[in-house]
């Protein structure tokens, strides 16, 4: 006999484990049960991660990409998009300006752009760490084992590589010339190299089912990620998925809440994509399990060109303005901005680290 919703939520809150069919059941809950799910996730977040919200300053340093992901506006086939690359001095200056705003971590993100040699990225990561005292997250897509190792040795703390979807067929359909097997291999490699690993998925991709989404959560749990970014799919008019429907706010929030129950110690961002389709999206995520925000610290003139999906928030705002805005959101929820580096609370990452 199928367990009641309440029973499943209680069990997940206590044991942080769920079967695939139980996840699917929770993903379809509504009304008072949905409220119960969000409240349980919020409680688990407070117990394991506290009331602090960690800020990660996002630097979108190159919008060049060699890939052709069907959903993404940076895809190589989007020829009319003006492309830009920031150099080392610009990146260090942007990160330097984020320090007085209170940032302790920067995320270096780009499309898959081989114009940046592994050595160059290593130098940048090293300078951000040594000169500015920042924790460094890299998010540069799939690269070779040697590259990942070089960067880790240069001091990069974390690597963010979303798995996008754990539905193998859907993964294949959305990613020409890429395979689920490679993605998985890269993620396990990053884990072996001692990175704090971030992954994550989109919600509401065309063809995605509740079964696909349950697989996403089970994959994140199996990989035992230190961070999981879960955001809605937003159709981009410059891609083959222009006419697809966007992901729902509610389903995205359910995914975040269940992720919190399953992975009490994972950092879960209230994603920019969620904030872009719902003006209160990030606030809603922060009270449904999320404990991280990743404000954009890319200079204004480049933001517009990092057009992964349309109507991204903060396009006309500068880093200081976004920092203020986020500070306001966090205090309005009775939460505080974290003072530390925000490493994973797992023991292997806190011993000897800030
Ligand atoms: N809608 C939502 N998220 C997207 N991403 C890329 N395209 C879209 C889209 N259309 C996300 C992917 C990728 C990250 C850079 O942005 O998850 O990992
Ligand atoms: Fe490139 Fe990443 Fe966009 Fe895929 S999702 S096209 S790899 S920037
Ligand atoms: Fe950029 Fe609110 S976070 S304006």
What's the CA-to-centroid distance between 130 and ligand 2, angstroms? Answer: 29
Residue 15 belongs to a domain: no
Supply the residue whose CA is at minimum distance from atom 3 of ligand 3. 322
> How many domains does the chain contain in total?
1
Supply the residue whose CA is at minimum distance from atom 2 of ligand 2. 111
Is the model's pLDDT at 28 over the cut of 80?
Answer: yes
- Ligand 1 closest atom vs CA 232: 2
Is the model's pLDDT at 353 over the cut of 90?
Answer: no
Assess contact for 157 and 195: CB atoms under 8 A.
yes
Percentage above 90 pLDDT, the chain: 97
Question: Is the dihedral angle over the CA atoms 343, 100, 110, 130 positive or is it negative?
Answer: negative
pLDDT tens digits for 261-301?
999 999 999 999 999 999 999 999 999 999 999 999 999 99
Residue 352 belongs to a domain: no
Residue 276 belongs to a domain: yes
Q: List pocket residues of ligand 3, CB cut-off 6 Å.
A: 295, 313-314, 317, 321-322, 325-326
What's the CA-to-centroid distance between 76 and ligand 2, angstroms? Answer: 9
Average pLDDT over residues 38-62: 98
Task: Give the helix/strand (H/E) hosting 220.
Answer: helix 210-223
Q: What is the C-alpha to C-alpha distance for residues 41 and 190, in angstroms, rounded to an integer?
A: 28
Residue 350 belongs to a domain: no
Half-sphere CA count of 203, side-chain side, radius 13 A? 25
CATH number, residue 144: 3.20.20.70
Q: What is the C-alpha to C-alpha distance for residues 135 and 352, in angstroms, rounded to an integer?
A: 14
pLDDT tens digits for 99-118?
999 999 999 999 999 999 99
Q: What is the C-alpha to C-alpha distance for residues 280 and 328, in angstroms, rounded to an integer?
A: 13
Q: What is the C-alpha to C-alpha distance for residues 166 and 150, in angstroms, rounded to an integer?
A: 28
Kindly report the number of other CB atoms within 10 A of residue 120's CB atom: 12
Residue 208 belongs to a domain: yes
Identify the three-state secondary structure at position 266: coil
pTM of the full predicted structure?
0.98
* Mean of the per-residue pLDDT values of the chain: 97
What's the CA-to-centroid distance between 234 and ligand 1, angstroms? Answer: 8
Range of the domain at 176: 2-9+20-338
Residue 348 belongs to a domain: no
Residue 346 belongs to a domain: no
């Amino acid at each position: 006999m199928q367990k009641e919703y309440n029973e499943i939520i209680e069990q997940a809150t206590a044991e942080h484990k769920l079967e695939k069919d139980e996840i699917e059941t929770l993903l379809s809950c509504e009304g008072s049960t949905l409220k119960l799910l969000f409240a349980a996730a919020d409680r688990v977040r407070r117990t394991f991660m506290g009331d602090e919200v960690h800020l990660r300053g996002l630097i979108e340093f190159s919008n060049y990409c060699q890939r052709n992901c069907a959903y993404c506006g940076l895809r190589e086939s989007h020829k009319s998009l003006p492309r830009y690359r920031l150099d080392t001095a610009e990146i260090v200056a942007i990160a330097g300006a984020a320090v007085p705003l209170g940032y302790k971590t920067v995320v270096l993100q780009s499309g898959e752009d081989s114009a940046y040699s592994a050595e160059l990225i290593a130098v940048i990561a090293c300078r951000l760490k040594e000169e500015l005292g920042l924790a460094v997250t890299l998010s540069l897509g799939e690269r070779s084992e040697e590259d990942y190792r070089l960067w880790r040795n240069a001091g990069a703390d974390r690597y963010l590589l979303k798995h996008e979807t754990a539905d193998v067929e859907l993964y294949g359909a959305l990613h020409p010339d890429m395979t689920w097997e490679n993605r998985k291999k890269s993620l396990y490699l990053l884990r072996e190299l001692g990175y704090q690993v971030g992954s994550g998925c989109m919600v509401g991709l065309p063809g995605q089912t509740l079964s696909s989404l349950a697989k996403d959560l089970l994959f994140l749990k199996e990989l035992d990620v230190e961070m999981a970014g879960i955001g809605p799919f937003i159709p981009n008019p410059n891609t083959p998925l222009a006419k697809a429907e966007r992901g729902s706010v509610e389903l995205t929030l359910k995914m975040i809440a269940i992720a919190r129950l399953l992975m009490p110690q994972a950092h879960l961002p209230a994603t920019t994509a969620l904030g872009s389709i719902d003006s209160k999206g990030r606030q809603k995520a922060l009270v449904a399990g999320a404990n991280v925000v990743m404000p954009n610290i890319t200079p204004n003139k480049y933001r517009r060109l990092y057009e992964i999906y349309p109507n991204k928030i903060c396009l006309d705002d500068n880093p200081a303005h976004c920092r203020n805005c986020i500070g306001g959101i966090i205090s309005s929820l009775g939460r505080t901005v974290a003072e530390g580096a925000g490493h994973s609370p797992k023991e292997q990452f806190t011993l000897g680290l800030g």
